[in-house]
Amino acid sequence: MDQIGFTASALTSGRGILHIIEIVICVVDQALLHIHQHPGHTYWVWCMFTWVFCGLMTLIITIIEMFKIDLLLKFLNIMDWDDFATGMTMTMTLMVFSTAVIYPVFYICSHCYLAVVITIVTLACFIVYIIDAVMSKCATKGSYLCIMPGFIKVLEAFVTCIIFISLIGYVGKPALYWCIVVYVLPFPVTLLFMVINILHPLKNCIPCNLNKYAFYILLVIVLLYISAAIIWPLYSFRDNPRPADCPGNFCIWSIIFIVTFMTYVNLILYIVDCICTKFGLCGF
């Protein structure tokens, strides 16, 4: 406890320098995106959210480590800070990677020079984050978030977000509203499992075997996603062939295909999660 206090090493270390660069690049990206704004586009909103979230979360992690508040969190057994910080860095790397793909696909063009600059800055941000993630993962053993059980949950939530921002073409098709329900319902449950496993006091307050109930909940989610994996492509592509001219940033068919693809990705992730949880119950 006597070690808690300000330390400049959190800023001057290799990891601290990476954090400063990440924060600066995220701020620059936000400023450029405000100039080259497309406020009506969900993909633009996702890019802005990513850079705000990543910059803010990196700043919070830096402040906590700079004032050694992480020692207090460990002392009070609130969370495994190293696991949380590394897991969040891996999550932010994933989010920045998505913007590095999404932004040039939807907003870059031959005369959009500002969009080219934003794409270059985003790629630089991704490179810095992936270096930070690799360094942090090599230095951290991990207990949940930065190892397979927790990171599968992160991937499930991430893929769901990509589905959310890609939902289009379902208006007037009642069968597809069931798919929307399927995409929405598991999302808060996934986040809840993550929060419970990250915060030790909250997990210790639960008087039952969380993994036992998690398995049955995941089994229901898998069944829901199987229904969506059948219904969404069936009702989205029926009498809706791919247009001859289908650019990625204008073609609704391509965006519908993204939802279909991500539905199958999430179905696989939830199946793997369900199997891993079952193995945990069996003692493997």
- pLDDT, tens digit, for every residue of 33-85? 888 777 778 899 999 999 999 999 999 999 998 888 888 888 888 999 999 99
Write the secondary structure of 59-99 as one string of H (helix), E (strand) and C (coil). HHHHHHHHCCHHHHHHHCCCCCHHHHHHHHHHHHHHHHHHH
- pLDDT, tens digit, for every residue of 3-47? 555 666 667 788 889 999 999 999 999 998 888 777 778 899 999
Are 1 and 136 members of one domain? yes
In the chain, the number of structural domains is 2
| Last residue within a domain, chosen from 142, 177, 205 | 142
Q: Which residues contact 277 (CB under 8 A, 6 or more apart)?
A: 149, 211, 214, 215, 218
> Which candidate, 99, 118, 229, places its Cα nearest to that of 162?
99
| Last residue within a domain, chosen from 111, 142, 173 | 142
**pTM for the full predicted model:** 0.92
- pLDDT, tens digit, for every residue of 207-216? 777 777 889 9
Are 121 and 191 members of one domain? no
> Which candidate, 142, 269, 275, places its Cα nearest to that of 284?
275
Confidence of residue 220 (pLDDT cuts 50, 70, 90): very high
| Last residue within a domain, chosen from 125, 142, 159 | 142
Are 17 and 138 members of one domain? yes
Mean pLDDT of 226-244: 87
Are 255 and 205 members of one domain? yes
- C-alpha separations of 154 from 101, 131, 231, 279 in Å: 19, 19, 25, 20
> Which candidate, 161, 37, 23, 32, places its Cα nearest to that of 98?
161
Measured distance CA(73)–CA(65) in Å, rounded: 11
Are 92 and 206 members of one domain? no
Measured distance CA(45)–CA(113) in Å, rounded: 20
Are 231 and 132 members of one domain? no
Mean pLDDT of 149-158: 94
> Which candidate, 215, 230, 214, places its Cα nearest to that of 267?
230
Note down the domain range covering 31.
1-142
Q: What pLDDT score was predicted for residue 94? A: 96
Are 81 and 154 members of one domain? no
Helix 186-198 crosses helix 210-237 at what angle (to 10 degrees)?
150
